[in-house]
Amino acid sequence: MTNSTGVDPSVQLFQLILYIPTFIFGLIFNTLAMWMLFFRIKKWMEATVYMAALIVFDSLLLITLPFKIRAYYVGDGWKLGFGVCTFLESLYFVNVYGSLLTSVCICVDRYIAIQYPFYSKVLRSPMKATVVCVLVCIVVWGASIGFFIRLREAAATHCFYGFSSRTWSSKSLVIIIETAFLFSAALLIVCTTLTIRTLKKKARANLSNPTEMKAIKVLVANMVTFIVSFLPFHVSLLLYHLVKNNFISQDYANPLRIFIQVSLCLSNINCFLDGVCYYCILKEFVKSTNKSPE
């Protein structure tokens, strides 16, 4: 049984339980991490540039959560207009994929630095990392705006749910989203695995330094957060698309609708996990910097 928003009441309660602490603690830890970056880190490196970009993407996504919570839990319709709804929905999904691609960039950057230390001086720099982050922003905004303008009818009285049937029947939208995710996931897993293997070889040969060994924690945390946050949603999105286009029996429509709502909610935990992870990493980095001789 669903309510006026088309959301099962038990799912609605689950979303509420997750969204509120995700918003509160995500905002706290992302703010703390940003404070560490701008006021405690004396010298910015490639990793800190990517961390800053990821924190910005996560923070912008967090800003949309109160609107999403209201859209789900206040049943008086969307009163802020089609334009505001389109902007917020675009902002929400743009920052989901901005976070996804930035996580991959962090992994690839670590891979180049550790696997190819001689070439890394040419391929890596804080300025180049900044350019990459700007390009990621341009790509996700450019690829998303055209799609999300067509997500719903202009006369719709709701937001963040109840997308139009043409959205679910759009093969190009699903292909682009799933391809981007699969390519990103494959790249992240391969780079992480190869990098960790190289670091462990260096550790056995006593060639690694403490900074490189700390990178293993960053890489593992980054990969686990990526998989837990994004895999369930992309699986559910593909399956629901197949149901809506009659490739899978309509008997599965309601369970898959619940699955996609829950998995999308779980993907937002990424905002909180990133903030905690990078705050702790930056705090440890500042401590080690202060202990090191000038």
Q: Could you count the other beta carbons within 10 Å of the beta carbon of residue 19?
A: 20
Residues 6+ apart with CB under 8 A from 47: 106, 109, 110, 218
Over the Cα atoms of the chain, what is R_g? 21
**The pLDDT of residue 46:** 85
21-27 long-range contacts (CB < 8 A, ≥24 apart) are 21/272, 22/62, 22/65, 22/268, 22/269, 22/271, 22/272, 23/62, 23/65, 23/66, 23/69, 25/272, 25/275, 25/276, 26/58, 26/62, 26/271, 26/272, 26/275, 27/59, 27/62
**The pLDDT of residue 294:** 46
Q: Are 282 and 51 in contact (CB under 8 A)?
A: yes
What's the pLDDT tens digit per position in 132-184? 999 998 888 877 766 665 555 555 566 766 665 666 666 777 888 888 889 99
The amino acid present at 111, given as its one-letter code, is: Y
Q: Could you count the other beta carbons within 10 Å of the beta carbon of residue 41?
A: 16
Q: Are 233 and 263 in contact (CB under 8 A)?
A: yes
The widest CA-to-CA distance across the chain, in whole angstroms, is 67
Residue 62: HSE in the Cβ half-sphere, 13 Å Cα cutoff: 25
Which domains are delineated in the chain?
A: 9-287 (1.20.1070.10)
Q: Is the pLDDT of residue 274 over 60?
A: yes
Could you tell me the end-to-end alpha-carbon distance of the chain, in angstroms, rounded to an integer?
A: 65
**The pLDDT of residue 135:** 93
Say which DSSP state 221 is in.
H
What's the pLDDT tens digit per position in 55-104? 888 888 888 888 887 776 665 566 777 777 777 777 777 888 888 888 88
Q: CA–CA separation, 128 vs 121, rounded Å?
A: 11
Sign of CA dihedral 253, 72, 266, 191: positive
Of the candidates 92, 120, 90, 108, the one whose C-alpha atom is nearest the C-alpha of residue 50 is: 108
What's the pLDDT tens digit per position in 222-267? 788 888 888 998 998 888 888 888 888 788 888 888 888 888 888 8
